[in-house]
Amino acid sequence: MMSHRSFGGDGLFVFVKINPNKFLESFNEIGQYYWDNFNIMIDQSCKNKNRLRFLSYDPYLFHNEKALKFIAKTKILYPAHRVEKSAPILHKDNR
């Protein structure tokens, strides 16, 4: 697994080892995992496996050489509507 900041700096790009013959199933299950565990919606335009990807410079790039391959098991359908997670509102008096 490897991750780095997006070109614009406001997102995160994550590379995950998968079976290339199960690309769409893997994409859907990984998306469901991020939604269920972190309330993060992944960019659906990335499901096009022919989409070009350019690496961004990130001095804090993370690379886990021992990452295991993600194994897609079933097709998962995303909920029809999702609300993107927003940052909590902090009050000056920390209430």
Read off the pTM.
0.63
Report for 1-5, 40-44, 55-59, 81-85: range of highest mean pLDDT: 40-44
pLDDT at 63 over 80: yes
Q: What pLDDT, on the 0 to 100 scale, is given for residue 55?
A: 65
Phi, psi of 82 (to 5 degrees): -125, 150
pLDDT at 79 over 60: no
CA 12 from chain center: how many Å?
7
Q: Tell me the three state secondary structure of residue 4.
A: strand
pLDDT in tens, 1-20: 778 787 777 888 888 889 88
pLDDT in tens, 31-52: 999 999 999 888 888 888 888 7
